[in-house]
């Protein structure tokens, strides 16, 4: 006799549905990255997703586990997320390495889906940044691309992807520029005030909002990411607690600091639109596996992420701190969950 425990009906949600709605929500950002960087974006995304799937398959085979989890969408999503955090000039082998880091070292080693303490895509990105700082901080200038290199030409893009800038007889400096965050950081270290630095930067914050600026292929457009994030919120896949508390904390801290010392601290809109903040707030910090379960915990988690991001951006060695912030807060998740359990029905608050 089969023992089947109640309930005997199910709402119909599944891991695959969750993962594919996140992939769906990343479509605007993905399309925008292809618009900005042409075939180069396409190659990076395909190679990351492919490598992620192959790594997942290899791990499951090695551990003699069923292959089915390979198709639940989580590996594909991890691959896509890493791709979106990479600069357009990332060479092919580095994209594959990133996917392998993510799937093997930060997911399967811990026992596969559901057991990883850190967001796999984010930790792979951090490993890459620390291991290859030069390649990870060379950003193509989106607008210079058109007349110097036609990335919509597949042969040029693939040559760049497989053989690097040198093979095209172009110097790195001619096609790259600093990101807004990097630009401000460098300026401050040279004693230039923030308003002066921003005045000399070719882009307005509105460009950053729409996406016409240097940066990782999927991070450029705050608008595209916001659309995806709102879609996920509407579908109930993510909850408002983490992205809102994350973004509001960064905004508030930068507002206060820029009011007190406008020469040292950039204003809130600049911070909100720049770097990987939007991607991290809506897609990385909200990764269910590595974020708190309780609502109160999610608020604390988001506030912590915002605080660390702002601190690293303003006082740290790196221009961008969002991904470090999320990873640091990932460490605190079990503790946060334990202390923020909701008050149980009929019991006094514990």
Q: Which residues bind other proteins (CB under 8 A)?
A: 1-15, 17-18, 69, 72, 74, 111-115, 239, 288-289, 291-296, 298-299, 337, 341-347
Name the residue nearer to other proteins (CB basis): 14 or 171.
14
**Minimum CB–partner distance for residue 26 and other proteins (Å):** 17
**Minimum CB–partner distance for residue 86 and other proteins (Å):** 25
CA–CA gap between residue 179 and residue 276 (Å, rounded):
11
**Minimum CB–partner distance for residue 8 and other proteins (Å):** 4
Name the residue nearer to other proteins (CB basis): 6 or 155.
6
What residues contact residue 247 under an 8 Å CB cut-off, 6+ apart? 272, 277, 281, 306
Name the residue nearer to other proteins (CB basis): 13 or 167.
13
Name the residue nearer to other proteins (CB basis): 14 or 167.
14
Q: From 208, 131, 180, 189, select the one nearest 316 (Cα to Cα).
A: 189
**Minimum CB–partner distance for residue 297 and other proteins (Å):** 9
**Minimum CB–partner distance for residue 180 and other proteins (Å):** 33
Alpha helical stretches, state H, the chain: 15-25, 27-62, 74-85, 92-100, 120-131, 142-148, 154-163, 172-175, 180-189, 194-200, 205-210, 222-235, 241-260, 268-273, 277-279, 295-315, 322-331, 333-339
**Other beta carbons within 10 Å of 280:** 29
CA–CA gap between residue 350 and residue 70 (Å, rounded):
41
Name the residue nearer to other proteins (CB basis): 12 or 191.
12
Tokens of 41: 């974006």
């Amino acid at each position: 006799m089969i023992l089947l425990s109640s309930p005997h009906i199910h709402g119909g949600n599944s891991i695959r549905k969750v993962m594919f709605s996140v992939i769906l929500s990343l479509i605007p950002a993905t399309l925008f990255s292809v618009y900005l960087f042409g075939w180069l974006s396409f190659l990076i995304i395909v190679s990351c997703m492919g490598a992620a799937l192959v790594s997942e398959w290899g791990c499951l085979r090695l551990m003699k586990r069923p292959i089915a989890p390979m198709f639940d969408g989580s590996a594909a999503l991890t691959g896509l997320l890493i791709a979106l955090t990479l600069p357009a000039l990332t060479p092919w082998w580095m994209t594959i390495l990133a996917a392998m880091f993510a799937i093997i070292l930060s997911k399967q080693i811990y026992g596969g889906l559901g057991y990883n303490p850190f967001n796999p895509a984010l930790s792979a990105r951090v490993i890459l940044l620390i291991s290859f700082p030069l390649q990870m901080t060379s950003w193509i200038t989106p607008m210079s691309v058109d007349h110097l290199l036609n990335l919509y030409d597949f042969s040029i893009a693939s040559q760049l992807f497989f053989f690097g800038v040198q093979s095209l007889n172009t110097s790195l400096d001619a096609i790259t520029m600093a990101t807004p965050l990097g630009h401000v950081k460098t300026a401050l270290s040279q004693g230039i005030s923030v308003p002066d630095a921003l005045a000399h930067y070719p882009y307005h914050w509105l460009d950053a909002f729409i996406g016409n600026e240097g940066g990782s292929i999927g991070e450029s457009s705050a608008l595209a990411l916001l659309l995806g994030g709102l879609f996920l919120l509407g579908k109930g896949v993510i909850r408002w607690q983490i992205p809102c508390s994350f973004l509001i904390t960064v905004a508030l801290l930068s507002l206060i600091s820029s009011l007190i010392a406008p020469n040292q601290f950039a204003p809130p809109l600049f911070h909100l639109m720049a770097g990987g903040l939007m991607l991290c707030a809506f897609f990385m910090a909200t990764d269910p596996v590595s974020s708190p379960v309780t609502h109160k915990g999610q608020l604390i988690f988001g506030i912590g992420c915002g605080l660390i991001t702002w601190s690293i951006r303003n006082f740290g060695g790196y221009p961008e701190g969002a991904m470090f912030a999320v990873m640091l807060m990932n460490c605190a998740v079990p503790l946060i969950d334990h202390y923020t359990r909701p008050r149980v029905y009929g019991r006094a608050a514990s």
